[in-house]
Amino acid sequence: MNDIILELRGVKKSFGQTEVLMGIDLTVNRGEFITLLGPSGCGKTTTLRIISGLDMPDGGSIILEGRDVTYIEPDKRDVNMVFQNYALFPHMSVEENIGYGLKLKKRPRREISDEVEAALLLVQLEGYGKRRPNELSGGQRQRVAIARAIVNKPKILLLDEPLGALDLQLRRQMQIELKRLQKQLGITFIYITHDQEEALNMSDRVAVMREGRFEQIGSPAQIYDEPKTTFVAAFVGNANIIAGIAGESGDGNIAMLHSGGSVRAALRDKTVPHGQLLTLAIRSEQIEIARDSGQESGLRGIVKEKSFAGGMLRIAVELGSGEEIIVSRHGINSALKEGERVVLDWAPGDAVPVEDVGP
């Protein structure tokens, strides 16, 4: 049994007429790195603000270490936040910024300067204490913002897209550093991002959010390999979504009948009645593509377009139904030409039946 540090129960929030959170439930374990992943406007920042106390929910409750903190002011919660724009105090030096929380707690001066020094060391900014925030680069400001929060030893650290403003290279580096910090300090991290790679890379668990609800909560592997819905499959795995009618396959799998042909998928623990609509998610790199030579199984289509990006060759195949399926391959060479008739197929275990939740 895991040690639960935070619990959200039926948390609701509206801004005017817009319902931002539609009663969400979430449990966070002590010491874990959990990421709220979703497109902008899905309610992830609002969730974080409600946990921090900067916003009050309209309904539901927030339990921090067994204590109901739903309507407790932000300064009375052992939770700290790293803001998206860093929100460093421009009129204070780096040291003063980091020591701000400790100073409010009336800790002795000597102690504060020691702790600040240690925090600077931890985020690799030794010697930058006397600088002003406007004399720092984006990455350095980011580190100060993190140091300012962790120096207070919060029970939970909330991070609102902390790497959003950094360039790709620095982002990768900071991802590794954040993960290292989290392990080193043992603080529970609740992290927000709209970058699926970042979420899968860093988290112990990922909670995929969409329109004020959690679509799926699970380990990165679960989210990536076993998406529950079309949204999770498309947003996290960049998977192709294809719909047909469920049918008998005779080998324990399920067959999907489609105007382009028939393909199989592993049922896993799901049951899909025959004759019902069946939606499958299949990632582009798991699709086998071959010239049409009268194969029995597979979906028929025509190669529409080939493009090369990020070391992968992307082949867009148009099915007879007009749906477009993306197939990707390593390397730049492919014998297939545009306009050629092809058959797409996959191992039944790679295709995942998902719940169609619309675009």
Partner 1 sequence: MTENTRKARGLRAIHLTVLPIYLTTLLFVVGPMAYMIALSFMTRAERWGVTAVFTIDNYINIFQPIYLNTFVQSIRLALLSTALIALFGYPFGYFMAKLSPKWRKAVSFLLIVPFWTSSLMRLYGWIIIFRANGTLDGILMGLGITGEPLRLLYTYPAVVVGMVYVLVPFMIFAVYSSAEKMDWSLVEAARDLGASRLQAFLTVSLKLTLPGLLSGVILTFIPSMGLFFIADILGGNKVVLVGSVIQEQLMRSRNWPFAAALAAMLMLMTTLFIYLYRKITKVKDLEGLL
Smallest distance, partner 1 to C-beta of residue 52, A? 6
Using CB under 8 A, pick the residue from 70, 80, 142, 216 that binds partner 1: 80
Phi, psi of 84 (to 5 degrees): -60, -40
Does the protein bind partner 1 through residue 87 (CB under 8 A)? yes
Does the protein bind partner 1 through residue 109 (CB under 8 A)? no
Does the protein bind partner 1 through residue 111 (CB under 8 A)? no
Residue 189 or 214 having the CB closest to partner 1? 189
Residue span 34-73 as binding mask against partner 1, x where in contact by CB under 8 A, dash where not: ------------------xxx------------------x
| Residue indicated by tokens 């998610």 | 281
# binding residues, partner 1 (CB under 8 A): 23
Provide CB contacts within 8 A for 221, sequence distance 6+.
Answer: none
Smallest distance, partner 1 to C-beta of residue 287, A? 45
Q: Residue 214 is encoded by which pair of tokens? A: 């959690």
Using CB under 8 A, which of the segments 29-37, 80-88, 209-217, 345-353 binds partner 1? Answer: 80-88
Does the protein bind partner 1 through residue 134 (CB under 8 A)? no
Using CB under 8 A, which of the segments 2-10, 14-22, 78-86, 326-334 binds partner 1? Answer: 78-86
Using CB under 8 A, which of the segments 62-70, 99-107, 254-262, 316-324 binds partner 1? Answer: 99-107
Using CB under 8 A, pick the residue from 13, 44, 141, 148 that binds partner 1: 148
Using CB under 8 A, pick the residue from 33, 100, 128, 235 that binds partner 1: 100
Smallest distance, partner 1 to C-beta of residue 101, A? 4
Q: Helix, strand or coil for residue 43?
A: coil
Smallest distance, partner 1 to C-beta of residue 119, A? 13
- Rounded distance, CA 29 to CA 7, Å? 9
Does the protein bind partner 1 through residue 165 (CB under 8 A)? no
Phi, psi of 241 (to 5 degrees): -115, 130
Smallest distance, partner 1 to C-beta of residue 69, A? 13
Provide CB contacts within 8 A for 94, sequence distance 6+.
Answer: 120, 125, 128, 129, 130, 131, 132, 133, 136, 144
Alpha-carbon dihedral angle through residues 217, 221, 227, 231, given to the nearest 10 degrees: 70
| Residue indicated by tokens 């998406």 | 227
Residue 91 or 110 having the CB closest to partner 1? 91
**If residue 158 lies in a helix (H) or strand (E), which one and from where to where?**
strand 156-160
Q: Helix, strand or coil for residue 102?
A: helix
First and final CA of the chain: distance in angstroms?
37
Using CB under 8 A, pick the residue from 50, 146, 149, 319 that binds partner 1: 149
**If residue 235 lies in a helix (H) or strand (E), which one and from where to where?**
helix 230-237
Does the protein bind partner 1 through residue 101 (CB under 8 A)? yes
Residue 98 or 354 having the CB closest to partner 1? 98
Contacts 24+ apart (CB under 8 A), 133-139: 133/86, 133/88, 133/89, 133/90, 133/92, 133/94, 133/97, 134/90, 136/94, 138/165, 138/166, 138/170, 139/166, 139/170, 139/174
Using CB under 8 A, which of the segments 26-34, 84-92, 198-206, 250-258 binds partner 1? Answer: 84-92
- Rounded distance, CA 331 to CA 313, Å? 6
Does the protein bind partner 1 through residue 142 (CB under 8 A)? no
List of residues contacting partner 1 (CB under 8 A): 52-54, 73-75, 79-81, 83, 85, 87-91, 100-101, 104-105, 148-149, 152
